[in-house]
Structure 1
Amino acid sequence: MDNNKLGTKPHYQILDGLRGIAAVIVVFFHLAEPLAASRLDNVVNHGYLAVDFFFLLSGFVIGYAYDDRWDKMTIGSFLRRRIERLQPLIVLGMTLGAIGFYFTDSTIWPLIHTVPVWKLIVVMLIGYTLIPIPLSMDIRGWEEMHPLDDVAWSLFFEYIANILYALVLRKLSNKALACFVVLAGAVLLHFAVTNPNGDVTGGWTLNAHHMRVGITRTIFPFFAGLLLSRVARPVYIKNAFLWCSLLVAVVLFMPRIGGAEHLWMNGLFEAFCIIFVFPLIVYIGAGGVVRSQTEEKICKFLGNISYPLYMTHYVLVYFYVAWVSNHKGITLSEAWPTALLTFSGVIILAYASLKLYNEPVRAWLRKKLK
């Protein structure tokens, strides 16, 4: 099926903007993370929940964009459209990560310069496919399935959700889908409150535990977003973008709940946010409207830059983490100029990636994958 015949539906401008807000906070989270003494005292303590928010947004947008098109579309044409959307920046992130690999001198990665070039190239080429690498090929030593671009693990699970949608779950009635989502939510809640870490973090290592975490974190929000796209009726709330942005920020910046003594409390908080707060934010954002040209430009810019920002920022974060590790005991008040410089570089890199690479490559792929 010719992709162009499917047309393009209007974007939810506020949801585009919220995706950008969450992506920016992810960068803040990764800049603050190496300065924290433990997982209990990160300044952006719940920044990792942005991934769960992204999954929910993806499910909502997929449902909105494709649910009523399957009479004109094959599974192959759907997957081609997803590849055209997701794959170019995956390739760029892996390539930039490989280019910068040997330049991140640090005591936390002492073996980097012993990695032969051929092995680096193999890991990069496998990374292009998003196939997880085993621990025996983890060339950085962080037990990552994608050691050249850490965040790519979430795209691996994003593809799994897309494939499940295309093959099976799109065919479910709303009632059946609701039952599936409730069951997935119960699994997520159980995991969050019983996990020894007291949170839902994980998914980036190729082992049984992390695969379970990744699937658990993906299935509920993605298909809850799909269900929401089917059953939600827009409700107008004044200044929806502002209120939704504040809600996203409150959740992601929220300090650890319960401390080290009551880990289950933090897990319960995170499950509550994923199961109830994030769908509420998307529901309000989907019904809202931008109120000025300035707000429209902000939402458009944040939406356009969100995915490039997410997929390329860790390239510079690796350098920043190496710098922090080489300055033992450095505090936030001492590190903020370097963190700000890194953040500025991340934004510039993301915008350059969007304009100089992602947009032209996607336009080329759109023609080739007709």
Structure 2
Amino acid sequence: MNNNPFGTKPHYQLLDGLRGVAAMIVVCFHLTEPLASSHLDNIVNHGYLAVDFFFLLSGFVIGYAYDDRWGQLTIGGFLRRRFERLQPLVVLGMTLGALGFYFTDSTIWPLIHTVPVWKLIVVWLIGCTLVPIPLSMDIRGWQEMHPLNSVGWSLFFEYIANILYGLGLRKLSTKALTCFVVLTGAVLLHFAVTNLNGDVTGGWTLNGEHMRVGLTRTLFPFFAGLLLSRVARPVYINHAFVWCSGLVMAVLLMPRLGGADHLWVNGLYEAFCIILVFPLIVYIGASGVVHNQREAKICQFLGNLSYPLYMTHYVLVYFYVAWVSNHKGITLWQVWPYALLTFSGAIVLAYASLKWYDEPVRAWLRTKLK
């Protein structure tokens, strides 16, 4: 934790750094995904759990930042602050996705060359609001609620969690919130071990099944993070950033468990990570301190980069996936230079988006939406 000189609450620098670590693993997951023969053998097999980690981090940070400020804060004021923080990069990600849409030439997206410009503009405008589009408006063919920027689905559920918190769940007593978290945790556990895929993936399609998955993946971690912010009493833990980064990487890089014959084993592992390991990581991260200026700069850089990286990297991944799909049978050893180039480009794009767009737009919104 680091004291803020402006009189606001101390800032959890280590948690910012961990968000950046997880965001980078998400990029690696998406780069290795097209090389896998199925969901059972991706090299970065559990990279998608970073989304669940983000939800828990979000609940913790929002509870810490806002729980004791509702005497001076209105619901509208809270939602405006979340809009200022989240929406600019939503718009940028959708815009970049729309600009690149017609240039991702691949047989895996046969629809993209038949989509009229007017329809692309409509999908882009809807995407900028994060309102999910129905399957009838899918212009890519992946059955996504946001086909111009795949990751938009998780921001949709992030907004739902924020709205639920602002409208009333923030008023739950600690005891009532504990009951709610236990209930949603039980739902998550049941889903993870009984799901036919043997994992918790899903949430990106506008239908009943995926909406259920999205809510299941959102409600427990977000409100578990909120509960943790209320009950945790951080104690000093030495080298917390190193320990937490190692745990995050170990969880997300873990190979698939159980194989095709025992899918429930992998589901149990993922539930264990979301319900127990992720809260432990956040607790340790909240208990740690930066030891020197170098570590502080690393955490600050990773934290600042994390959200822009998450919201813009898939624009480049679309081109990468198209290239891989046009070179059937390509191996990891053959593709790694292109993967490294895409990864590096994603970092550069995220940093440019942060400095030239996100920070200036958020500053402008703060003056306009007072």
Q: Does residue 1:95 correspond to 2:88, yes or no? A: no
CA distance in 1, matches of 2:262, 2:311: 34
Specify the alignment match of 1:82 in structure 2: 82
CA deviations on 1:264-286 (whole Å, 9 max, x unpaired) are 00000000000000000000000
Q: CA deviation at 1:309?
A: 0.1
CA deviations on 1:204-255 (whole Å, 9 max, x unpaired) are 0000000000000000000000000000001211100000000000000000
Q: Does residue 1:256 correspond to 2:256, yes or no? A: yes
CA distance in 1, matches of 2:10, 2:19: 16
Specify the alignment match of 2:71 in structure 1: 71
Q: Does residue 1:195 correspond to 2:198, yes or no? A: no
CA deviations on 1:124-181 (whole Å, 9 max, x unpaired) are 0000110000001000000000000000100000000000001111000000000000
The residue type paired with residue 86 of structure 1 is L
Structure 1 pair 206–8 and aligned structure 2 pair: CA distance change class (3 A): farther
CA distance in 1, matches of 2:10, 2:356: 24
Q: CA deviation at 1:11?
A: 1.9
CA distance in 1, matches of 2:363, 2:34: 38
CA distance in 1, matches of 2:261, 2:354: 45
The residue type paired with residue 72 of structure 1 is Q
> What does residue range 319-334 of structure 1 map to in structure 2 within 5 Å?
319-334=319-334
CA distance in 1, matches of 2:331, 2:17: 32
CA deviations on 1:35-57 (whole Å, 9 max, x unpaired) are 01111110100000000000000
The residue type paired with residue 179 of structure 1 is C
CA deviations on 1:342-366 (whole Å, 9 max, x unpaired) are 0010000000000000000000000
The residue type paired with residue 91 of structure 1 is V
CA distance in 2, matches of 1:12, 1:60: 11
Q: CA deviation at 1:10?
A: 3.0
> What does residue range 34-45 of structure 1 map to in structure 2 within 5 Å?
34-45=34-45
Specify the alignment match of 2:122 in structure 1: 122
Specify the alignment match of 2:298 in structure 1: 298
> What does residue range 141-152 of structure 1 map to in structure 2 within 5 Å?
141-152=141-152
Specify the alignment match of 1:271 in structure 2: 271
Q: CA deviation at 1:119?
A: 0.3
CA contact under 8 A between 2:110 and 2:141: conserved in structure 1?
A: no
CA distance in 2, matches of 1:125, 1:268: 39
The residue type paired with residue 342 of structure 1 is T
> What does residue range 199-214 of structure 1 map to in structure 2 within 5 Å?
199-214=199-214
SS in 2 for 1:264: helix
The residue type paired with residue 79 of structure 1 is L
CA distance in 2, matches of 1:302, 1:11: 14
Q: CA deviation at 1:194?
A: 0.2
Structure 1 pair 8–312 and aligned structure 2 pair: CA distance change class (3 A): farther
CA distance in 2, matches of 1:235, 1:90: 36
CA distance in 2, matches of 1:330, 1:291: 44
Specify the alignment match of 1:134 in structure 2: 134
CA distance in 2, matches of 1:211, 1:56: 19
What runs of 5+ residues in structure 2 fail to find an aligned partner?
1-5
The residue type paired with residue 47 of structure 1 is G
CA distance in 2, matches of 1:29, 1:7: 39
Query: What RMSD, in angstroms, separates the aligned Cα atoms of the two structures?
Result: 0.9
Q: CA deviation at 1:8?
A: 4.4
CA deviations on 1:87-128 (whole Å, 9 max, x unpaired) are 000000000000000000001012211100000000000001
CA distance in 1, matches of 2:152, 2:366: 23
Q: How many residues align?
A: 365
CA distance in 2, matches of 1:8, 1:112: 48
CA deviations on 1:291-318 (whole Å, 9 max, x unpaired) are 1111110000000000000000000000
Specify the alignment match of 2:307 in structure 1: 307
Structure 1 pair 258–62 and aligned structure 2 pair: CA distance change class (3 A): same
Q: CA deviation at 1:9?
A: 2.9
Specify the alignment match of 1:3 in structure 2: none
TM-score (norm 2): 0.98
SS in 2 for 1:149: coil
Q: Does residue 1:285 correspond to 2:288, yes or no? A: no
CA distance in 2, matches of 1:148, 1:7: 41
Q: Does residue 1:243 correspond to 2:243, yes or no? A: yes
The residue type paired with residue 159 of structure 1 is Y
The runs of at least 4 consecutive aligned structure 1 residues that moved more than 2 Å come to 6-10
What runs of 5+ residues in structure 1 fail to find an aligned partner?
1-5
CA contact under 8 A between 2:251 and 2:273: conserved in structure 1?
A: yes
CA deviations on 1:5-25 (whole Å, 9 max, x unpaired) are x98433200000000000000
Specify the alignment match of 1:53 in structure 2: 53
User: Percentage identity across aligned positions?
Assistant: 83
TM-score (norm 1): 0.98
SS in 2 for 1:213: helix
CA distance in 2, matches of 1:274, 1:112: 36
